[in-house]
Amino acid sequence: MAISSWVAGGANSLVQISLAVQLPFCGDNVINHFICEILAVLKLACADISINVISMGVANVIFLGVPVLFIFVSYIFILSTILRIPSAEGRKKAFSTCSAHLTVVIIFYGTILFMYGKPKSKDPRGADKQDLADKLISLFYGLLTPMLNPIIYSLRNKDVKTAVRDLVSHRCFTQ
C-alpha cells in the first residue's frame, strides 16, 4: 500500500510539474507562499491555466474524493456495527477507538478539501487576504496536522489523559 501511494503521488506530481513547466511566467516570479505549492506557482503564469486546473480537478477527485468516499462508507459500516453492540460500555469504547482516527481524517481532509475545492476570489482587493488564508491553510495541513497526530492518538491512553487533566487543572487553579 505504501509503494502504491508513493507511485500514485509521484505520477500525479510529474503530471502537475510537466504541465506547469510549459507555462510562460512573467512578472517578479516570487512565490508568495511558505512552500512551493502548485496553486502558488500557477498564480504566476501569464497564460491560460485551464488545462492545469482540469488536471488538478481530476487529481483532486482521484486522490481526495475517492479516499474520502471510501472512509465515509467504511465509517457507515463501522457505525452500524457499533450500534449493534448490546452494552453501552462496549459502544462507548468502540466510539472512543474510532474518534481519534475520525478526528485526524476530518482535520487533514477537511483542510485539503477546503484549500483545493474552494472557488478562487476574483476581487483584486481581497487578494492579500486570500493569499494569507491560503498560506495558513497549507501550513495547517502540511505542518500542524502531522504534529497533532501523535497528540490526538495518545489522548486515548489513560496515563496521558490523566497527565493532561492534571496539567489543565493545575493551570486553572494557579491563575
Q: Is the pTM of this model over 0.75?
A: no
Distance CA 141, CA 81 (A): 31
Q: Of 84, 155, 71, 78, nearest to 112 (Cα)? A: 71
**87-138 pLDDT, tens digit each:** 988 888 888 778 878 888 888 888 777 777 665 555 455 566 667 777 777 7
- Boundaries of every domain in the chain: 2-174
